[in-house]
Amino acid sequence: MTERLPASAREQDDAPRVGGAAVSTAAFGAVARRLIARLRDVMAGAGDAQTRLDQIVQLIAAELHAEVCSCYLMRAGDILELFATVGLNPSAVHRTRLRVGEGLVGTVAASARPLALADAPSHPNFAYRPETGEEPFRSLAGVPLLRGGRVRGVLVIQHLRARNYSEDEMETLQTVAMVVAELASAGELVGAGEISTAGDAGVLQQRLAGIGINSGLAMGQAVLHRPRLTLSELVAEDPEAEFARFGEAVSTMHASIDVMVQQSREAVPGDTADILESYRMFARDRGWLGRIREAIAQGLTAEAAVERVQQDNRTRMAQVADPYLRARLDDLEDLTNRLLRHLSGKRSPIETALPDDVVLVARALGPAELLDYDRVRLRALVLEEGSPSSHVAIVARALDIPVVGRCAGALSRIEAGDPLIVDGDNGQVLVRPGEDLIDAAARAMATRADRRLSYQAMRDLPAVTRDAEPIQLCINAGLVIEMPQIADTGAEGIGLFRTEIPFMVRATYPDVAAQTALYSEVLEQANGAPVTFRTLDVGGDKTLPYFPAADEENPALGWRAIRIGLDRPAMLRIQLRALVRAAAGRDLRVKFPLIAEVAEFDDARRLLDRELARAAKEGIAPPSSVKVGVMFEVPSLLWQLDALLKSVDFVSVGSNDLAQYLFAADRNNPRVGSRYDPLSPAFLTVLDRLAERCRAARVPLSICGEMASRPLEAMALLGLGVRILSMTPRAVGPIKAMVRSIDSRQVGEFLKPLLSGRERSLRPKLRAFARDHGASIEDIALVR
């Protein structure tokens, strides 16, 4: 993406120009190839790096008929220094400096995006430096020098007259910038040590904060996932030979991916195979492969063309906020790295022998890249980016390894071989921990292991409180691969099956047959245990690749969940039709998400009734029973409880969203996400009143958000009278231990008088109660 401003006076059109005359795209392609070839000769020629850089800017200016060509390189402290120029005052070289973000050159560096301006002085970021003598020049085009994902400098051309730079010119300038970036990164012009971003690497222990993507605690040695290969040749001598090499590498890569998909089906069955099928489709994307071929045609080697296209992808995707689309960039990075290895003949991304306990550290990761590593040695994963809905996160959960994502600066602050402690429960990474923390982590892991054994021994025992109150413990799931967890944990069923996750890992919308097969498999593997399906809950932070995302300022409050289903009833009816068919002869439990008023539930229920009637008309065996409920997430339903409870068979509280809407606090915003405690009197009062009304109406109430997975919060819920909890599979053991250790009546008698208090949180008092009454509250956090 190139930012453009129109000329105040349209003195020239948008056609590529050589010597002031417009030329065709094909003719300009010949100019580009000639320029690349001449740059190759300069790079291979004699002279030091500064001499070659001077020759390069002269060559670019001559070939593109620019009055000015300048090269700025990044120095320590995020300073851009003019290193070479033709057209500006020679005395400005090594004198003119700009901060990143300062002036137009600094703007290009800060955004890592090209900038094309027909009237540069009119741009609000324009900064005039008198020593350069650039006041006569009107138009400007600048591109970042990118190497290894970092901005190494900026390449600029300028013209005296206002002109619009064509896409062909900008493409050529970006391709040329790759060659200049290679020279800038060699360490001859600016020493590698000066601009090192390692910063405090190598110092004493550090604590890096992120988000917990998969829970758990692990220790091991850092293995840095840096799969980028050094490109030794950027400019091709024989384009036809490069096309042949590229075609052979693509074919070999496709074959290896086919083998990997088959092996993964056998080793990690279920929906992980769907993820890898989606990955395989990316690898065959004609648009991606076609753009690489175009770059080869411009005169680049096959390797440089692959890298060139990926730089474009990064630039475009850097402006995308949607987490699903950004996660797809991880898949493309994975494929780029894989294709580069096939081109170089180096098939494995793992350069050294792995330690016995591997903590993999990466900027981002594709699902196939994770499977490249030995699963027996893999202990945890740390990502600078990442999201719970990314493909690699889903595969990691299937492998049961802790994951911390959005860990800023991990690759620059962690060195290969560093000892690490990864706390997936609290979203933190301890780098080079001291002996005390290592000992504490070892004890915590041993305690967790012992507790897991005790939970395993408790698996078949009933979840009954000391005052004989039976509690129904269910698990949350979203993939077929998670269904065995019912038996493994001793849960009573699936309290929340997130149907959107199988939609998100597919490249196309699944039809009735595909969805019916999926839901049938879920019910089959449940083996008679109840499964409650939540209908499609997308929008907000969950986007389907084949469904247009709405451009909304507040997506959590916007077009999502049941609102999409009712506005696009064909989508919802297809899903309900598949659920009805899958449940033939079996119990069907369905709940609708984000219901804000009873009328929405009535509309959704009518669509389900139509599908039940359709199935009967077509002679399809009906479900043996049908139970329909709502996800209670929107506080407005509190004022329609009488009407709601007459219509539903059950109510499920989504505590995460309910807290977000009740407190008007975005739970994904670190500044406010943890500001309000669900154990506050306000939030607990809402749940208390809801529980009372549901009991009076004899409507079962369950909690299926994060509160149900945390022993202290779950203890409070039992005190309020909640008797059905649905949680992550890992939480079943700790929650059952808590249930069997408490008297729920005593908890209620202690808690309810506190609801009228003024405290921001009742957490300290509840923790003290648990300690005084011998409640089993697992809490093994190393650092809070």
Q: Which residues are annotated as catalytic? A: 391, 704
Nearest to 213 by CA among 476, 500, 429, 424: 424
| Order of strands across the sheet that contains 68-75 | 3-5, 115-117, 139-147, 150-159, 68-75, 79-86, 97-99
Enumerate residues 6+ apart whose C-beta is below 8 A from 678. 655, 659, 684, 706, 707, 713
**SS3 category, 638:** helix
Residue type, 26: A
Task: Round to whole Å and give the CA distance between 68 and 104.
Answer: 15
Q: Report angle CA 95, 110, 127 to the nearest 5 degrees.
A: 50
Enumerate residues 6+ apart whose C-beta is below 8 A from 753. none
First to last CA, the chain: 42
Question: What is the number of other CB atoms lying within 10 angstroms of the CB of residue 239?
Answer: 16
Q: Residues for the chain: how many in total?
A: 784
| Order of strands across the sheet that contains 217-224 | 206-209, 428-431, 419-423, 217-224, 358-362, 378-383, 403-405, 211-214
Nearest to 273 by CA among 476, 483, 480: 480
Nearest to 537 by CA among 513, 556, 551: 556
Q: Beta 97-99 vs 115-117: how paired, if at all?
A: unpaired
Q: Quick one: how far is CA 152 from the chain centroid?
A: 26
Enumerate residues 6+ apart whose C-beta is below 8 A from 612. 580, 622, 623, 626
- Phi and psi, residue 741, nearest 5°: -105, -5
